[in-house]
Amino acid sequence: MGAVGLGCMPMSWAYSASKRSGEESLRAVRAALDHGVTLLDTADMYGPFTNELLVGRALRGRRENAFLSTKCGLLVGEQHLVANGRPEYVRRACDASLRRLQTDVIDLYQLHRVDPEVPLAETWGAMSELVTAGKVRALGFCAVGVRGDRRGGANRGADVHSDTLSNLSCAQQVFPVSCVQAELSVWSPEALDTLLPWCAARGVGLLAAMPLGNGFLTGTLRPGEGFERDDVRARHPRFTAEMMAANQPIVVGLRRIAERHGVTAAQVALAWVLAQGVQVVPVPGTKRERWAVQNAGAADVRLTARDLAEIAALPRARDSWD
């Protein structure tokens, strides 16, 4: 598997719809494959469904070059997202994903969210049956983002990770968890405290979601420019003009290191994620060919002990919940 993956979500979900281009996204996927990226990460709810269709198109004639990951267990409702872990749904969702992706097998099938109304053992058991049936090669588990749950109080992050580890232990008793996907970046390092040690001790991979901090760590976003209403960052507590300005020292620090290496701040941020362990694969999301190629190049960046010490000394990221 390539050192850096490609998150396909921005091609059809979460970020500004007016800036999406199907043809540009197809070029981004193909360019990533050309530059050593193999893991493509999508989900049935991105779009919904259109992201898998796009990835399926991009992989025509190139399926053997890709490690294909998709997800089930989360539905797009009228007002909010709804978890669905019913076994019958899992089976239908997998078959539908296979059709949209134009493939006979999914390399990694991830549970997007745990359904509180369905015992996890039942959901995971249904997913394991898909492996037995030859429709799926391995199973993964998406951990709820710590930063997204901080409003519950100062200790909420620890509670979320505790819940995740409990769920992982439950799932492991039914069928092996091959990887865990969780947010991990320079400005959101919480997964290093508990999730990564859990994975390392069991030989489980960690897919680092949002390794570029939703674009902030690239240094290309400017405080006060704002976001379109359909962009999730328009409602994100770290993307107010005030907080973006307050967190600029993080980007400045990454740029300083990038200048020494002749690379970009984004590549330094990805190299930091790669430096956290051999089982860690960053999955930066993009819909642009240029960024897909640049992100793939981060695999060649080698941070020194001095670089890592400077990153460790950067200010803690702030948001409006602090």
How open is the CA angle 248-254-260, to the nearest 5 degrees? 140
pLDDT tens digits for the chain (322 residues)?
899 999 999 999 878 777 778 899 999 999 999 999 999 999 999 999 999 999 999 999 999 999 999 999 999 876 689 999 999 999 999 999 999 999 999 999 999 999 999 999 999 999 999 999 999 999 999 986 434 344 333 344 455 567 899 999 999 999 999 999 999 999 999 999 999 999 999 999 999 999 999 999 999 998 888 888 888 899 899 999 999 999 999 999 999 999 999 999 999 999 999 999 999 999 999 999 999 999 999 999 999 999 999 999 999 999 866 5
Domain that includes residue 184, residue range: 6-213+276-301
Q: Which residues contact 177 (CB under 8 A, 6 or more apart)?
A: 139, 140, 141, 168, 171, 202, 204
Give domain status of residue 257, yes or no: no
Give domain status of residue 247, yes or no: no
Give domain status of residue 220, yes or no: no
Task: Please state, in angstroms and rounded to a whole number, the distance separating the CA atoms of residues 93 and 109.
Answer: 11
Give domain status of residue 99, yes or no: yes
Task: Please state, in angstroms and rounded to a whole number, the distance separating the CA atoms of residues 103 and 273.
Answer: 30
CATH number, domain of 112, equals 3.20.20.100
Active site residue 46: yes
How many CA atoms are closer than 13 Å to the CA of 3, on its beta-carbon side?
A: 19
Give domain status of residue 322, yes or no: no
Give domain status of residue 190, yes or no: yes
Give domain status of residue 75, yes or no: yes
Give domain status of residue 269, yes or no: no
If one counts the domains in the chain, the total is 1
- Of the residues 15, 46, 89, 109, which is catalytic? 46
